Structure 1
Amino acid sequence: MSITSDARFWDRTSRKYARSAMADQAGYERTLDRTRALLGSGDRVLELGCGTGTTALRLAGDVQDYLATDISAGMITIANEKHAAAPIPALVFRTATAEALAPDATKFNAVLGFNYLHLVRDLPGTLRCVHGLLATEGLFISKTPCVGDMNPLLRFALPPMRAIGMAPYAGVFRAADLSQQISAAGFDILVTENHATKGNDNRPYIVARKSN
């Protein structure tokens, strides 16, 4: 398994993913409202793991520039189809990862990663890349499943499911581990919240500021 196989998995499932219903719409709306309040009209924003562009299309109209990226070309194709139907001048979709963007000179005021960090294969390395992409005192905003805090049966099921192509790579860490990793990458954690409206779904909403 590799990053290439991860991309192929999401390419294969992109159309099905686009049709799937959101499990907690109210919780998602809370996340959008909270994030929108943290972004300024003059901000340059990067979203990592944007999927089919749902969040980008909801937030991009409120900022100066919004680059939405995903490892899957299939996901980005769907996002661009949505964008063509409802254009937002500030928004650009691109097939890319944090690591691929790292050498660029562009600095962002905010980097968003929703349902993203548990899917990366090198969490410390990705967090270092995010840190490098941010302007001074820029914000990293994350909301991702902490599989280590979930039902142990899920953790046991993931490896065989990955082996037969039924699941992507997913890192297993607890919320406390994630916070520690974010801090170690050079961030001050400002906020940790639970936005779930249907019980605790173990996806902490974390706002962190670049500290050095």
Structure 2
Amino acid sequence: MRTASKSDQRFWDRLASKYARQPISDQETYEKKLAITRKYLTPQSSIFEFGCGTGSTALLHAPHVDYILATDLAENMLDVGRVRAAEADIQNVDFQRIGIEEFDPAGHSFDVVLGLNILHLCRDPDAVTRKVRALLKPGGHFIQSTACLKDASFILRLAIPVMQAVGKAPTVSFLSEDDILSMLDRNGFDLTESLRTDSSMSANFYVAQKRQA
């Protein structure tokens, strides 16, 4: 499995302060995604989130579960989450700097894996999806938001490589909705529900259950 690069780590570390200040662009849709996610959470749930950023979503879900391990490549992002958790006296979220590719569960498994606005930023989304399946308990759920950039405008698809060349964009994988659904199916998941957005620039939301062997 191809791992995240040091340049991606530096990119997100540099962006941490600005990212933390940005408001949610579509609060109504965000609330819908939170509500859908909580249908799959219980007070006994153990959660793994990769690409958690500043941990804002993990902290909102924390009162509804037993434990969340929130991971990200960028230490500066995680530091924001740690401060916010301390300020809110949230004690059941642990922040760890690691990519999902390198993460060793050491025999532990999770009820839910969250990958929110991150799969299209992975170098090998297919391998990451296989890793998610390995991390889940039988019948566990993979909940993701993923931007379908392959379905985006031609101009945007041209612009992203240019932005990458000048350090203004990280690694990006161009995925369509068909790519995502096919990837889930061949890696042992059944789609449970989805929330599709009107714009291909926005992230579609998918809940998939680990298929029984």
Q: Secondary structure at the match of 2:70?
A: strand
Counterpart CA distance in 2 for 1:102 and 1:95 is 12
Counterpart CA distance in 2 for 1:89 and 1:113 is 21
Please tell me the root mean square deviation across aligned C-alpha atoms, in Å.
1.5
Counterpart CA distance in 1 for 2:76 and 2:5 is 15
Structure 2 residues without counterparts, runs of 5 or longer: none
Counterpart CA distance in 1 for 2:148 and 2:106 is 30
Aligned residue for 1:200? 199
Aligned residue for 2:155? 153
Q: Secondary structure at the match of 1:50?
A: coil
TM-score, normalised to structure 2, is: 0.93
- Identity across the alignment (%): 37
How many residues align structurally?
A: 209
Q: Which amino acid aligns with 1:206?
A: Y
The CA deviation at 1:172 is 0.4
Instruction: State whether residues 188 and 209 of structure 1, in contact with CA within 8 Å, keep that contact through their aligned partners in structure 2.
Output: yes
Structure 1 residues without counterparts, runs of 5 or longer: none
Aligned residue for 1:54? 56
Q: Secondary structure at the match of 1:144?
A: strand
Change (3 A) 1:175 1:102: farther
Q: Secondary structure at the match of 1:142?
A: strand
Q: Secondary structure at the match of 2:172?
A: coil
The CA deviation at 1:203 is 2.1
1:18 to 17, 20, 38: 20
Counterpart CA distance in 2 for 1:47 and 1:143 is 12
Aligned residue for 1:70? 72
Counterpart CA distance in 1 for 2:68 and 2:58 is 8
Instruction: State whether residues 192 and 205 of structure 1, in contact with CA within 8 Å, keep that contact through their aligned partners in structure 2.
Output: yes
1:141 to 137, 140, 143: 143
Counterpart CA distance in 2 for 1:150 and 1:104 is 39
Q: Which amino acid aligns with 2:207?
A: V
Instruction: State whether residues 47 and 67 of structure 1, in contact with CA within 8 Å, keep that contact through their aligned partners in structure 2.
Output: yes
Counterpart CA distance in 1 for 2:107 and 2:5 is 24
The CA deviation at 1:200 is 3.3
Q: Secondary structure at the match of 2:102?
A: helix
